[in-house]
Structure 1
């Protein structure tokens, strides 16, 4: 038995094969797990729980089957699906956790995050994040017609892609630095929570990093994205195994 962690699936109607891969993963692997944690960006975009997309319905139905089979499912909102709310969580049978959240895995306290809070060198993004996490902004946004919200999401994705392309063209090395975690922020996070294991996604740079933080051995595990293939972290009492699927 193991606890499974995934993130950054970015499920969208344009990539049905990834949605199908996720469904197969739920049926074939998750049914026998101790728990499933989804650490954000399950969807490419989420503009409110009234979104009637086929992808959203498919995911909710399959996650509900997992939960009804007795496997707890937990979700941390990402930068693409931060508007996932209680209504959808109830439909899908998962529990929404705060970001960050400390959980106990086989007796070991572990910090879980989506990961974007660690990328503090990207000042423009952190400003946008602060704005869109404001309850007043969210209430105003969700009050708009669904079509307007979907148009906003499409525009935001296009702007993000254009910004990334521009940053890569100007200075590839600087782009890699800005869009990755900030080492000082990582160290401060370990110290603040007093833990020695951190699991997160967001950066799409899957790896297990062994760190020394203030003389303490720590481990930062970064989950992979699902753009080209699946990526899952399996944790049990003895080890953490990060692999493609």
Structure 2
């Protein structure tokens, strides 16, 4: 191990983008096994309708993750807004360790708050209302027991509705709330927050109680890969080629 921890998010893997899948599989085979740990901060998949969906892509991803874990690199997963229904059955097949939506991890002597990031977008009240509803345990229980064909139709309809709604929203509305960022970091007593969701990779400097702090945003994998490398010396956002 070379004292490196890796973070990725927002790959939105689907059968329609084999170039992203190829880049992810290459990353899992060549780069991830050399790290101390890999954290996937949500939206690994474009959508998830249940662990029982017989999608060859899911089996391929599970095999790649399990192989990485088998070589000694644990792979941790935080649910995103697209794959929040990913369950313990798939996690078991993939060797993933599921984490709560807000988790503090110790990285080389420093506490770090990690999350997908959608809970930080509190100005988008319509989305937060939708999120609360879709996370009702009884509703998820019911959805998982619908026939697979019904779940596919429901997921397609929800995805189209979400895309249409987002087109009418301003980018500022869909970004994080600075007040919520500061509240979460103060509540968890950290000076570093890592998240995805907004697809705006950057390292933001801020001040909390007269102390320097940072918020690192992971990028998506639509046009290029985005990887955060954390070492005892610091953090670096890097790009990866697709295909």
Query: TM-score band, normalised by the shorter chain?
Result: over 0.9
Query: Which residue pairs with 1:204 in the alignment?
Result: 199
Find the partner of 1:70 among 66, 69, 72: 72
Query: Which residue pairs with 2:8 in the alignment?
Result: 6
Q: Taking structure 1 as the reference length, what is the TM-score of the superposition?
A: 0.96
Q: Secondary structure at the match of 1:161?
A: helix
Q: Secondary structure at the match of 1:218?
A: strand
Query: Which residue pairs with 2:109 in the alignment?
Result: 107
Consecutive unaligned residues in structure 1, runs of 5 or more: 168-174
Matches within 5 A, 1:22-41: 22-41=24-43
Query: Which residue pairs with 1:170 in the alignment?
Result: none
The reply to whether residue 242 of structure 1 matches residue 218 of structure 2 is no
Runs of 4+ in 1 over 3 A off after TM superposition: none
Deviation at 1:160, TM superposition (A): 1.1
Deviation at 1:134, TM superposition (A): 1.0
Query: Which residue pairs with 2:221 in the alignment?
Result: 226
Query: Which residue pairs with 1:56 in the alignment?
Result: 58
Render the CA deviation track for 1:141-167: whole Å, top value 9, x for unaligned.
111011111111111111111112233
Query: Which residue pairs with 2:128 in the alignment?
Result: 126
Q: Secondary structure at the match of 1:211?
A: strand
Q: Secondary structure at the match of 2:139?
A: helix
Query: Which residue pairs with 2:91 in the alignment?
Result: 89
Query: Which residue pairs with 1:19 in the alignment?
Result: 21
Q: Secondary structure at the match of 1:125?
A: helix
Q: Taking structure 2 as the reference length, what is the TM-score of the superposition?
A: 0.96
Aligned length: 238
The reply to whether residue 149 of structure 1 matches residue 144 of structure 2 is no
Q: Secondary structure at the match of 2:223?
A: coil
Consecutive unaligned residues in structure 2, runs of 5 or more: none
Deviation at 1:84, TM superposition (A): 0.6
Name the CA distance, whole Å, in 2 between partners of 1:194 and 1:140.
37
Query: Which residue pairs with 2:166 in the alignment?
Result: 164
Deviation at 1:208, TM superposition (A): 0.3
Query: Which residue pairs with 2:208 in the alignment?
Result: 213
Name the CA distance, whole Å, in 2 between partners of 1:177 and 1:206.
15
Deviation at 1:243, TM superposition (A): 1.1
Name the CA distance, whole Å, in 1 between partners of 2:53 and 2:233.
41
Query: Which residue pairs with 1:193 in the alignment?
Result: 188
Render the CA deviation track for 1:31-90: whole Å, top value 9, x for unaligned.
111100000000000011001112111100110100111110000000000001110000
